[in-house]
Structure 1
Amino acid sequence: MKSISTKVFGPSGSVRRPILFLVIALILSGIVAPSFLTSRNINALLVSSSFLVVITIGEALVIMTGMIDLGVESILASGGMLVAFLTVMQHLSAGVAIPFTLVSGLFVGLVVGLLVTKGRIPSFIVTLGTYWGLKGIALLFNGGNYISPNSGEFSFSGLSGTFLGMPTLVVLMVVLVAVAQLLFSYTPAGTWIRAVGSNEMSAKTVGLNIDAMKIGMFMISGLLAAFAGILIASWQGSMYPTTGAGYSLQAIAAVILGGIPFTGGRGSIVGAAIGALIIGLINDIIVLVGLPSLYEYIFVAIILVIAGLQARAARGAVVK
């Protein structure tokens, strides 16, 4: 028989779980801070959360195959510094700087994927190295200083503008989540990703190229992290080498809140994106009620424990 947890939250990996968490968080936030539910604040929340959502998509795909990527925040920071460096200091157009930055993110993902698959090094160790290495590269671009246009705005600042009356950042976020979810749900690639995370040996037996799948997921994660760096530079109007600090762990937390287990094999991109919005919501409500920012970590920890407990209960019900 199904447990109460499964009846309420749905099976492990169901998008119903993060949706319920989000609804509960919205209700509590509206009670604690009535100004939270204003259209202006919701709009600001979606914009500020868009960067985390973008990198969470890539993190979700990596974790879905049973791996982890700790380097996304450093790819974001170095990517943002790179595009700023190319446009401000090298005077390259956005049409050249942005593709170059995106390709650099792909390249980092390729190197990480090769080290994990061909070098047989655990993804935790490789991406921890990526985290520290690219953090250093971000600091090297301008001697540890931020980069800002000498006058006016970045040549790619239009990314932080509006599109059909909506913030472009929010539009891009929604499009990326929708496309990723459609590809994950309705293409063979999505089935292959779930198969690798569910049972790697069985996936290999039926002829799937496991190494290619893993490399591909790291490349997508690197691409999206670099893209998030471009977006956040556009939004801030400047880029700091320490921008995005904490995003790697927040993205992993978002994936877990979204219902994707560390073992991979099940879950959804939409669920992971909602998990990222929940983390953004927690940060927003802390600011609105005037609490120190350190409380964000405490509240995220509590929610993660709750998510872990209900997921554990669901697994226990399946075993029985």
Structure 2
Amino acid sequence: MLIFVTFLILCLIMSLLSDQFLTSSNLTNVARQISINAILAVGMTFVIITGGIDLSVGSVMAFTGTIMAGLMLVSGIPIYLAVLIGIVLGTVIGYINGTLVAYAKIPAIIVTLAMMEATRGLALLYTGGYPLSGLPEAFTFIGRGHVFGIIPMPVLIMVLVYIAAYIILNHLPFGRYIYAIGGNEEAVRLSGVKVKRYKIMAYVISGVTAGIAGMILTSRLASGQPMAGVGFELDAIAAVVLGGTAIAGGRGHIFGTLLGALLIGVLSNGLNLMGVSPYVQLVLKGLIIIGAIYYSSWRQKD
């Protein structure tokens, strides 16, 4: 697999350019950082396989995270219930996105762009534009703690999310329908499959993963940040496309998405260690996305 070879080569290059790259503390930090984008990219994979796109995930992540923080701080709601409500809100937003795409026939890029603005505005309104700090220590364990003293909690959550996504896409009828819709939606509809229902479910999954990512980020920051997650949707799209999912839909693999997220995370970490300007990193990231989309389109034509 090209993405795997590229990832290994990148790791080798970074280890030669920086003696800090292969340290245990740095690798642990990379894994923790990657987990958020990797989880967002799971939902994005489902959506892109159907031929859609979801630009709202970064804002939904921030919105659900601030809601969780507010419920715990202001309302005194137990941690588990605040987290559940936040993820349910992400689910509802995904359902609204999917319904507008499937039934109202509004292009996905328009629907999710509008939702990106709306949810960001709601997060700012809810918090008054200020972060909500002072979250319970038990909640911060989700983003900062370790299982068995070794595995970062966000990494464990990421692994569980990927296992679930793999089972859904590769061993359940739902996954087969998702691929088929991306390949030829009209043929699937004529075969009697309720295409709209499955398209909505793809966006619902994207909303759920955005809510989970919001939980982890809020926990890690120990505060609800209404401006968190800006640009995260582009990182998620880049991870999906780099991982081999066709931007036009119908083809992709969930573990390819994980490799794509790892590639982006290692690249960002390596550039940071070398002191490369974050502005230069944005330029490189944009070029990588363009190149990945071009390669995906070229493979689709073949």
Instruction: Please indicate the TM-score interval, normalised by the length of the shorter structure.
Output: over 0.9
Query: What TM-score, normalized by structure 1, do the two folds share?
Result: 0.90
Greater CA deviation, 212-221 or 301-310? 301-310
- Corresponding position of 2:142: 159
1:105-136 CA distances to partner (integer Å, 9 max, x unpaired)? 11111111111111111111000010000000
Amino acid at match of 1:273: L
Aligned-residue offset at 1:290: 1.0
Residue 263 (str. 1) matches residue 248 (str. 2) = yes
Residue 133 (str. 1) matches residue 112 (str. 2) = no
CA RMSD, Structure 1 to Structure 2 (Å): 1.5
- Corresponding position of 2:279: 294
Residue 237 (str. 1) matches residue 222 (str. 2) = yes
Whether contact under 8 Å (1:169, 1:231) holds in the other structure is yes
Aligned-residue offset at 1:35: 1.3
- Corresponding position of 2:7: 22
Report how many aligned residue pairs link the two structures: 300
- Corresponding position of 1:169: 154
Residue 113 (str. 1) matches residue 98 (str. 2) = yes
- Corresponding position of 1:247: 232
Whether contact under 8 Å (1:64, 1:260) holds in the other structure is yes
Aligned equivalent of 1:31, options 2, 12, 16: 16
Q: How far apart are the structure 1 equivalents of 2:278 and 2:200?
A: 36
Change in 2 beyond 3 A, CA 1:203/1:42: same
Q: How far apart are the structure 2 equivalents of 1:86 and 1:182?
A: 33
Aligned equivalent of 2:190, options 205, 217, 230: 205
Aligned equivalent of 2:288, options 303, 308, 311: 303
1:147-187 CA distances to partner (integer Å, 9 max, x unpaired)? 111xx735422213111231111111111112211221122
Secondary structure in 1 matching 2:53: coil
Aligned equivalent of 1:72, options 57, 60, 66: 57
Amino acid at match of 2:199: K
Secondary structure in 1 matching 2:227: coil
Aligned-residue offset at 1:34: 2.3
Aligned-residue offset at 1:40: 1.4
Unpaired runs of at least 5, structure 2: none
Amino acid at match of 1:156: F
- Corresponding position of 2:170: 185
Aligned-residue offset at 1:300: 2.2
Aligned-residue offset at 1:308: 4.3
Whether contact under 8 Å (1:84, 1:154) holds in the other structure is no
Aligned-residue offset at 1:101: 0.8
Aligned equivalent of 1:56, options 32, 41, 50: 41
Aligned equivalent of 2:210, options 225, 237, 251: 225
Unpaired runs of at least 5, structure 1: 1-15
Greater CA deviation, 202-211 or 16-25? 16-25
